[in-house]
Amino acid sequence: MAGNKTVNLAIAGCGGIAREHLKGYARINEKEPGKFRLVALNDVLEDSVNAFADEVEKLLGYRPLTFLDTRKMLKTVKPGAVDICTPHCEHHRVAVECLKFGADVMVEKPFGVTIRASKMIIAAGKKYGRIVATAENIRRGVNQRTMHWLINEANLIGKPRMFYAIHASWSNPLNTKKWHWRIEKNMSGGGLVMDSGAHFCDSMRYFFGEVDTVYAFVGQFEKWPHDKQGEIFYSEVEDSWVALISFENGLIGTWSWTMAAPGHSFTKVVYYGSEGCLLDAGDVFHGPFDNAVLILKDGTQRTMLELREEFLKSIGEERRNRLFPHGFTDGITLECYDFLEAVQKRRRPEVDGEDGMRAKAIAEAIYESAKLHAAVRYRDVLNGRISKYQDPIDRANGLLGKKR
C-alpha cells in the first residue's frame, strides 16, 4: 500500500561505497526527517560494522544494531528494506536471503557477479513480491540527464552514428598494492569492464538504447602484485580491453581502456551524430563532465554548462522536482532517495533489477566475446545462451554443479 510510512532500513556490507550511501541518507534525513530509520548494519568483519555504526551515530544521532550474520539480522530486526553493499560475489546470496524474509532490496552495481546470479535475484524478487533496485548513480547526474535530453529529445547532434570512449595510461606494475577482493575473479566477476564499467554500460543503454552485437579483446599485459598479510597474490583481472559495440539503432561504439600503455597517456571521448558531436574531456566511465562541448557542423559550439541550463528550463518544475527532489544533484543521494520512494509508494524504482542485469550483460558480452575470440549477440549473453567466461565464476560461487 502506498504511503509515507517510515522505512526501516538496513545496510549489508560496511565498506567504502556503503559510507557514500550513508552520506546520501544523511542528506535525505536533513530534508525529510522520519522518511527512514537505519535500524541495522551487517558485515562479516566486526571492526568494520562497529566503525560504521560510529559514523551512523555521528551523522544521524543514533546507533543502529550491528550484526555479523545477515540471517540473524533479518530475523531479529525484520527490516523493510536492505541496501546491499557487499562484495560482488555476495550480492545474490544476500539479496535472495533478504527478499525471502520480506525485505525490499537495492543492490550495488554490478548487479550480480554473473548473469545467472542476476537472474536469481530478479526471480526471488518476483517470487516474494518485493522491490528490487540497482544502485546506479551516474545516470542521475545533471550532465547525464542533459546528455539523454540532447540526444533523445532536443536532437541536438542529429541521429547518433558512433562514439569513441578511449583511455590509455601507464601504472607501474612493480608497485605492490594491498590485496583487495576485487583482484580475484571469482569474487569480483572481473575487472573494470564490469566494476566502474557498470556505470558506462548503464549510461550506454540510457543514452542509446539496447546493444545488438559485441566484439572485444580483453587481456592482462602485466602482472600486478598485491600483498595479503605478507603473501603476494597477483591480480586475475584485466588491465586492458578494446570493445566494438553495435546498437539496435545502428550506432557503433568503440570503448577501450588500459593501464598498461607506457610512454604516452591520453583520454578521448566523443559522441558523433549526423549534425555534430559532443566532445568530452573526462574519463571513459562517468561522463559527460562539465567541460564537455557540443560542436555542430557549422562550427557552432555550446558548453555543457549552457546545455544544462537549457535542459533544466525546458523540462519544467514538475519534472525537475521529480529528477532532482529537494534540489539533490548528487547521484548517490538520488539513487537512495529513489529507493526509499519506491519502497514507500510501492512503485518501480527508476533502475530496477532488470535494468541492472541488462547493463551487466553488456560487460559480460565483452568478456564472452574475448573468451570465444568472436563477436557475440548481446541477447544471447543476456538470455544465458553464451556463458563460457562466466561458467567458472558461477561454479565457484555454487551457481553451477561441479565440473566433471
Of 271, 293, 317, the residue at which a domain comes to its end is 317
Tell whether 338 and 290 lie within a shared domain: no
Q: Note whether 41 and 349 are within 8 A (CB).
A: no
Strand ordering across the sheet containing 177-178 = 177-178, 225-228, 231-234
How many domains, the chain? 2
Tell whether 111 and 155 lie within a shared domain: no
Kindly give, in sequence order, each residue whose CB lies less than 8 Å from that of residue 228, ignoring residues fewer than 6 positions away. 178, 179
Rounded CA separation 91/143 (Å): 29
| pLDDT value for 62 | 98
C-alpha cell at 49: 560494522
Give me the average pLDDT of each 10-residue run along the chain (404 residues). Answer: 82 97 98 98 97 98 98 98 98 98 98 98 98 98 98 97 98 95 97 97 98 98 96 97 98 98 98 98 94 97 97 96 98 98 98 98 98 98 98 96 56
Phi, psi of 142, rounded to the nearest 5 degrees: -60, -40
E-strand stretches of 85-239: 104-108, 132-135, 160-168, 177-178, 211-219, 225-228, 231-234
In a domain, 235, yes or no: yes
Q: Which pTM was predicted?
A: 0.96
Half-sphere exposure of 205 (CA within 13 A, CB side): 22
Beta-strand pair 231-234/240-247? unpaired
For residue 88, give its domain range: 7-138+323-352
- Residue 344 sits in a domain whose CATH number is 3.40.50.720
| pLDDT value for 297 | 96
In a domain, 209, yes or no: yes
- Residue 172 sits in a domain whose CATH number is 3.30.360.10
